[in-house]
């Protein structure tokens, strides 16, 4: 059973768009790379823009499905968090071409008023929030740090910490490292940073 033609096109386009800027990829290239005629692209997508954002939409839909499925409702914050991070991380590693495009675009979504994609992004953030709420309930989270901040932090680390997402990238950070850093920071146990702040603050301007 051969894969749907639309998936073939999306895959080919995704790789090309990952390796080059939007404007440096021509529809001709996409067609050749996908093994179809140029006109065929327009049977599936209304325009080059549509093709581009369809990649994001399709992949994010898939990601959301994966995360929804992965999220166990068990009352165990640490397990849930680990599962979430693991699946997010795995997905981004598997679809590393998509990942490249995603981190390039997600900071411009608001400019482009791309509400559809923005909503999907919010769904992911909400999933993270749900897990953290469980952690809050289990009293495993600091009260000093806001929920939103924590959500952003997790999302930020998963998306932007350089990991072994493509073969050329040797750097490799394990999930457990991420968990440890996230939950206990990089400082030694019992590190008290409060004192320093007080006296320091007066120096700055």
Partner DNA sequence: GATGAATGAGTGTTCATTCAT
Partner DNA sequence: CATGAATGAACACTCATTCAT
**Binding residue (CB under 7 A) for DNA from 40, 136, 159, 164:** 40
Tell me the closest approach of the beta carbon of residue 35 to a copy of itself, in angstroms. 22
Instruction: Name residues whose C-beta falls within 8 Å of residue 185's C-beta, 6 or more positions apart in sequence.
Output: 191
Q: Is 202 in the site for a copy of itself (CB under 8 A)?
A: no
Tell me how far apart the alpha carbons of residues 159 and 157 are, in angstroms, rounded to a whole number.
5
Q: How many residues interact with DNA (rule CB under 7 A)?
A: 19
Given a contact cutoff of 8 angstroms between Cβ atoms, the answer to whether 152 and 82 are in contact is: no
**Binding residue (CB under 7 A) for DNA from 7, 47, 149, 166:** 47
95-154: contacts with a copy of itself (CB under 8 A) = 100, 103-104, 107-108, 111, 139-142, 144-145, 148-150, 152-153
- CB-neighbour burial class of residue 62 (10 A; exposed 0-12, middle 13-18, buried 19+): middle
Name the nearest CA neighbour of 59 among 97, 17, 21.
97
- CB-neighbour burial class of residue 84 (10 A; exposed 0-12, middle 13-18, buried 19+): buried
**Binding residue (CB under 8 A) for a copy of itself from 5, 57, 82, 130:** 82
Which residues contact a copy of itself by CB under 8 A? 19, 21-23, 76, 78-79, 82, 86, 100, 103-104, 107-108, 111, 139-142, 144-145, 148-150, 152-153, 156-157, 159-162, 171, 173, 176-177, 179-191, 193, 196-197, 200, 204
């Amino acid at each position: 059973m051969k894969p749907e033609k639309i998936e073939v096109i999306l895959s080919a386009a995704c790789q090309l768009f990952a390796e080059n800027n939007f404007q440096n990829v021509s529809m001709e290239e996409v067609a050749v790379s996908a093994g179809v005629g140029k006109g065929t692209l327009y049977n599936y997508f209304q325009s080059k823009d549509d093709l581009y954002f369809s990649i994001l939409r399709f992949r994010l839909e898939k990601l959301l499905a994966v995360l929804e499925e992965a999220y166990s409702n068990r009352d165990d914050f640490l397990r849930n968090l680990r599962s979430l991070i693991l699946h997010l991380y795995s997905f981004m590693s598997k679809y590393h071409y998509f990942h490249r495009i995603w981190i390039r675009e997600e900071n411009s979504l608001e400019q482009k008023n791309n509400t559809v994609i923005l909503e999907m992004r919010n769904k992911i953030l909400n999933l993270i929030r749900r897990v953290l709420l469980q952690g809050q309930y289990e009293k495993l989270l600091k009260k000093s740090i806001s929920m939103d901040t924590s959500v952003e932090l997790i999302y930020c680390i998963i998306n932007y910490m350089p990991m072994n997402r493509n073969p050329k990238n040797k750097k490799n950070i394990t999930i457990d490292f991420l968990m440890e850093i996230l939950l206990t920071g990089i400082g030694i146990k019992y590190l008290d940073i409060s004192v320093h702040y007080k006296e320091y603050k007066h120096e700055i301007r």
